[in-house]
A and B are shown apart, each in its own frame.
Chain A
Amino acid sequence: MNTMEDKIMLNNRASPYRADEDDRVMVLLDVRNYTYRQSLDYCNTMVDLRKFLDDRIGGRKCVKAVAVDGVILDDCGRDTSRVFHSELRSAGFSVELVPASNNKGKQEGVDVKIALIAQRYALLGKVDVVELISGDGDFSVLVKELQGLGVLVNVTSFYRSLSYSLRDQADSVTILDDEPAIRMMPKTQEVA
């Protein structure tokens, strides 16, 4: 499950639509879930977000790519993660910010927002495949609902943050640890 060969095999096997370029795909990124695990396991890695998104779309038709994040404001009323959000926008994501839902700053509204966006597009029949970038087990209910509407759901997550329930429910799973998304630099020559 955790090797690139397994992933390629899984992708080829799990989804008959996978190779279809006419598929309409929607990418949903749970920013907190993604960045939290990255900062723990792979700190100081600079991800090429554009390639990351391109790989998720995989040559299919992209209906929408949404990154949903909670917003925390500083003393001046500015978004504390505005630089990262700007990078997400540059990469092609549409950034949706949800205010903190309680006074402890917990971002409970993010999951609801992602579910609402996914279900809206599924009910309107505008999407064939949802690429969900999150390992949160709360989304297993959403995945089941989407599958009931005839939408395939591929879950992408770091191995250590992927919940069992979500993994079992999804049509296919991509393990982010194996994904080549960190851009390498050319070797600098020693110059006098």
Chain B
Amino acid sequence: MCYLDEFPDEQHLIRFNKMNSKGVCGIAEDGHDVYMDSYSGIRPQYGDAWYCNLIRKDTPTNHFYIANPVYKVEDRSGALVELSVQKNDELGSTADVPEEESAVVVETNESQEQFIPELSGFVAIGDDTIFSLRLTAARYNVYRSFNGEHLEIIPDVNGNIPCIRNSIALESLDDILDIKDPVRLDFTMKEDRILLNLTQ
């Protein structure tokens, strides 16, 4: 258990898109696991994103983080917050953004309109995951080219890739992309098929 006053004020955007033996957990910037403080009463679902205060806990061989939830990033407006932060950071770290600053982006219509074209693109957000507001179908078939330079995403009710919250997770995608930070991917559309260019 961690007392609230132990948590630093600094906020980090944590996406809870990892499952392990302890349930759903997030990934910190240094790649280590983040667990929601059980006394907060919040049980994050897979795919949720939260702004959290983090406190580091060391074990003899490793370390992890306990998170105190501040507010949840969700739905379309949430996505706007998240990606606008990424844009401000030039697709770098999404951390250290004051809550007030993000809230302004959500509440201002002009800002939303400004970012909607940006959001129509595709972003590889790490952890073998691609995010886009264009990913609206329930399931997809995804094919890569022989040389690994292109990815074709085809909506299919019998597809083998589930789409959860505008995101698809593909086996070994990060190995193909060879990236660590989120990166925007060029794309072209042909009817309902999406062709992503993986070369950066």
Contact = CB atoms under 8 A, between A and B. Distances in A.
Nearest to A5: B188
Interface string B22-52: 0000000000000000000000000000000
A178 B145 contact: yes
B160 A180 contact: no
A180 B144 contact: yes
Contact of B171 (A3, A45, A48, A186): A186
Interface residues of A, number: 28
Contacts, number: 82
Q: Which 3 pairs from chain A and chain B are nearest by CB?
A: A192-B21, A180-B152, A187-B169
A184 interface: yes
Nearest to B196: A180
A48 B159 CA distance: 13
Interface in A40-60: 41-42, 45, 48, 51
Contact of A45 (B141, B142, B146): B146
Contact of A181 (B20, B128, B143, B173): B143
A76 B143 CA distance: 38
A177 B146 contact: yes
Given A187-B170, A189-B19, 10 more contacts: A42-B146, A48-B143, A158-B146, A176-B146, A177-B145, A180-B151, A182-B145, A184-B173, A186-B160, A186-B161
A185 B144 contact: no
A181 B195 CA distance: 12
Given A51-B143, A185-B171, A180 B195 contact: yes
